[in-house]
A and B are shown apart, each in its own frame.
Chain A
Amino acid sequence: MTSVKRPTRIPGEESFWVLLGGDLMVFALLFGTFMYYRIDNLALYERSAALTSQGLGLINTFVLLTGSLFVAIGVEKWRQGLVSWKFLYAGASCGVIFALIKCLEYMLKIKSGITITTDIFFTLYYAFTGIHLVHVLIGSGLLLWLGSGLREGRQHTAIIVENIALFWHLVDLLWLILFTLFYLI
């Protein structure tokens, strides 16, 4: 019996993976930093984690997962030559909804007296979720740009479409870890 080897291809541009890899490394350091400070601040971490808006965190997780689904379907539609910009706009909308919910969450925290200087947990919470929020806004902007270009009939190479989709999915997967660290454990 002969085994058939499945052909492999790298999604997006090879050099873009260097950028994605750099981002993954930076966030790995952030995750490690957050957990490292937990060692000397166990009681404080458990007390502060109970004060996070867990319901809003859960909703935002679903918003980003849904955004990723829209973008993945959008890329597939684009490959088939079908209308894809609607799916990319839907993905970008999920990013905007995520940002609005995050702002609401920050406002609720600040209103109840919890700020970036409250304790080490919330310093890291505001810093890391803030860095991630910047990624979400960049990703949404890129999706809107890509979607509007496709809507106007502009031609985009597969590399551009796939690179932007990859960045969006990266933003999604980084949130899955942040959500676990700040809201669930």
Chain B
Amino acid sequence: MAREKRLVSIWLILGMATIFAWLIGHGPREINSVPRYAQVTAIVFIACFKVRLVMREFMEVRGAPLPLRIALDAWLTAIFCVILGLYYTSIGLIDLAAFDR
């Protein structure tokens, strides 16, 4: 029963995080006055936070051996960096050509 209560709590957190990310993207003007790149950073961070919760709680990775936990966290970190790195490049915050100079 305790585990089921925990699972429902996790589901509630995931739902609230989803709504929060949604509000950042489509919410009231006060939120929208934040620069778009900062909003996107928050939205991607929330998505990765949610993915980690699903992995650790629903997939029970929390109690898995360390190598599996490290591998999944590495995948998630790579996804986070690639998405944001390419996003920043697309809006000109990162200049990929500078790495060749």
A185 touching B40 in the complex, CB below 8 Å, given contacts A28-B75, A173-B55, A176-B47: yes
Tell me the complex Cα distance, A69–B10, Å: 9
- The interface on chain B, measured as residues whose beta carbon lies within 8 A of the other chain's beta carbons, has a size of 43
Contact with A along B10-50 (1 / 0, CB 8 A): 11001100100110011000000000000010011001001
Question: Which of B3, B51, B64, B96 sits near A76, CB closer than 8 Å?
Answer: B3
Closest Cβ neighbor of A168 among chain B residues:
B58
Q: Which residues of A contact B82 (CB under 8 A)?
A: 28, 31-32, 35
Interface size class of A (residues with CB under 8 A): 35 or more
Q: Among residues 74 to 88 in chain A, which have CB atoms less than 8 Å away from a CB atom of chain B?
A: 76
Question: How far, in Å, is B100 (CB) from chain A's closest CB?
Answer: 15
Q: At the interface with chain B, which of A2-10, A117-125, A126-134? A: A2-10
Q: Which residues of B contact A68 (CB under 8 A)?
A: 11, 54, 58
Tell me the complex Cα distance, A144–B78, Å: 34
Question: Which of A17, A31, A39, A184 sits near B43, CB closer than 8 Å?
Answer: A184
Interface secondary structure of B, over-half rule: helix
- Verify if A53 is at the interface (C-beta below 8 Å from B): no
Question: Which of B15, B51, B96 sits near A62, CB closer than 8 Å?
Answer: B15
Question: How far, in Å, is B15 (CB) from chain A's closest CB?
Answer: 6
Instruction: Assess the A58–B51 pair: CB atoms within 8 A.
Output: no
Tell me the complex Cα distance, A77–B60, Å: 15
Question: Which of B44, B71, B90 sits near A38, CB closer than 8 Å?
Answer: B90
| Residues in chain B within 8 A of chain A (CB atoms) | 3-4, 7-8, 10-11, 14-15, 18, 21-22, 25-26, 40, 43-44, 47, 50-51, 54-55, 57-61, 63-66, 68, 71, 75, 78-79, 82-83, 86-87, 89-91, 96
| Residues in chain A within 8 A of chain B (CB atoms) | 6-11, 17, 21, 24-25, 28, 31-32, 35-36, 38-39, 42, 45, 54, 58, 61-62, 65-66, 68-69, 71-73, 76, 165-166, 169-170, 172-173, 176-177, 179-181, 184-185
